[in-house]
Amino acid sequence: MAAARPAPLLKDELDIVIPTIRNLEFLEMWRPFFEQYHLIIVQDGDPWKKIKVPDGFDYELYNRNDINRILGPKAACISFKDSACRCFGYLMSKKKYIFTIDDDCFVAKDPSGKAINALEQHIKNLVTPSTPHFFNTLYDPYRDGVDFVRGYPFSLREGVPTAVSHGLWLNIPDYDAPTQLVKPLERNTRYVDAVMTVPKGTLFPMCGMNLAFDRELIGPAMYFGLMGDGHPIGRYDDMWAGWCMKVICDHLGLGVKTGLPYIWHSKASNPFVNLKKEYNGIFWQEKAIPFFQSAVLPKDCNSVEECYLALAGEVKSKLGELDPYFVKLGDAMVTWIEAWDEVNNSLGTKSAKILPNGTSKKA
């Protein structure tokens, strides 16, 4: 009799969140790695459009009607017509871990030609500590066959809990529109076999297309902002979340890793459309990044929510001078926390499970 396949890692502790405007045939390629996990699909755009999900996947699907029904007036904090909508899936999940992936990201191959189980690598990244306080020159010391190098303080070798695992992309790199315009044919062919901790006090450009995090450690900070329809900016959803998240991780002593796993990013979005979306962001980030670099959270902020609300106040007062958009964004950050508390407390009791109006889970 064939040996039973081992249950996938953290099968019942992880949700896969997919923002989408199209049918999800891409899941066929991920089937060997994803089929045992629960998916949360956030359908953006026209809620009356039917999204096809391949048979055999266990999922819940939320469209804009569901978001409005579940959150009521608070739904205004969830972006429309931008991949930022994915954070609604983080709100609705009840699992400890989240992996989010775009629907134009496929299984990549490592240099030996082996298919990369991106989910498995993210899980390894999340369940092992990070080293934000002192850089290990052999990179991830917790990986098989590696260790801390000479001179690494023993007092720091325990590391800190890992909150975020940021994966990368072969083929189409996540370039901004100006770079896409001047380098339309550039492809990322470089597979770097490393996982690194982003040092404390250092920000980084977090891309949402191949990203995993510990929802219990950092979930409330993973708000993807006000983007897309009705807002003067787009394609800065993941960047905004990454800057807020990193400041809070540094304050609370949590770690962020970047590097493996790779996915194969198949489709370049239109650089001209992207330029229109990113235009304000390209200017505003020159002010926003120094704001985050100098942000100091109150010592008595001991929870992610408290940190996030303190940061929201700073965004309104300090970045609000840059543009009134940041006053709205600061308010939306507060609404997000209110929604987070409301949904998660109501979901505490079984009967309160809020089912999607769209297509609910399939056995």
Ligand X SMILES: O=c1ccn([C@@H]2O[C@H](COP(=O)(O)OP(=O)(O)O[C@H]3O[C@@H](CO)[C@H](O)[C@H]3O)[C@@H](O)[C@H]2O)c(=O)[nH]1
Residues that bind ligand X (CB under 6 A): 19-22, 44, 81-83, 85, 102-104, 174, 207-209, 228, 235, 237-238, 267, 269
330 binds, options Mn ion, ligand X, none, Cβ within 5 to 8 A by partner type: none
State in angstroms the smallest separation of the CB of 241 from ligand X: 10
96 binds, options Mn ion, ligand X, none, Cβ within 5 to 8 A by partner type: none
For Mn ion, the closer of residues 38 and 277 by Cβ is 277
Structure tokens at 233: 């900016």
For 93, phi then psi, to 5°, come to -65, 150
For ligand X, the closer of residues 122 and 251 by Cβ is 122
For Mn ion, the closer of residues 264 and 292 by Cβ is 264
Q: Which of 71, 91, 109 is nearest to 17 (CA)?
A: 91
β-strand partners of 110: none
Contact between 130 and 54 under an 8 Å Cβ cutoff? The reply is no
State in angstroms the smallest separation of the CB of 237 from Mn ion: 13
For ligand X, the closer of residues 135 and 283 by Cβ is 283
Which of these ranges, 48-56, 64-72, 101-109, 127-135, lies near Mn ion under the rule CB under 5 A? 101-109
- Of these, 22, 23, 104, 327, which contacts Mn ion (CB under 5 A)? 104
21 binds, options Mn ion, ligand X, none, Cβ within 5 to 8 A by partner type: ligand X
Q: Tell me whether residue 184 is exposed, middle or buried, using C-beta atoms within 10 angstroms of its C-beta: 0 to 12, 13 to 18, 19 or more.
A: exposed
State in angstroms the smallest separation of the CB of 257 from ligand X: 18
81 binds, options ligand X, Mn ion, none, Cβ within 5 to 8 A by partner type: ligand X
85 binds, options Mn ion, ligand X, none, Cβ within 5 to 8 A by partner type: ligand X
Q: Is 342 in the site for Mn ion (CB under 5 A)?
A: no
State in angstroms the smallest separation of the CB of 352 from ligand X: 27
Contact between 242 and 249 under an 8 Å Cβ cutoff? The reply is no
Helix (H) or strand (E) holding 164: strand 162-171
Q: Is the peptide bond before 261 cis (omega within 30 degrees of 0)?
A: yes
HSE, side-chain direction, 13 A CA sphere, residue 362: 14
The whole-angstrom separation of Cα 180 and Cα 29 is 27
Helices (H), the chain: 27-34, 64-71, 87-92, 118-127, 177-182, 215-218, 237-252, 271-294, 304-314, 325-346
Q: Taken in order 226, 232, 235, 236, is the CA torsion positive or negative?
A: negative
State in angstroms the smallest separation of the CB of 98 from ligand X: 14
Contact between 22 and 105 under an 8 Å Cβ cutoff? The reply is no
State in angstroms the smallest separation of the CB of 185 from Mn ion: 17
State in angstroms the smallest separation of the CB of 180 from Mn ion: 11
For ligand X, the closer of residues 85 and 244 by Cβ is 85
The whole-angstrom separation of Cα 340 and Cα 91 is 6
For Mn ion, the closer of residues 19 and 141 by Cβ is 19
For ligand X, the closer of residues 81 and 328 by Cβ is 81
For ligand X, the closer of residues 29 and 297 by Cβ is 29
The whole-angstrom separation of Cα 322 and Cα 290 is 13
List residues near Mn ion by CB under 5 A: 102, 104
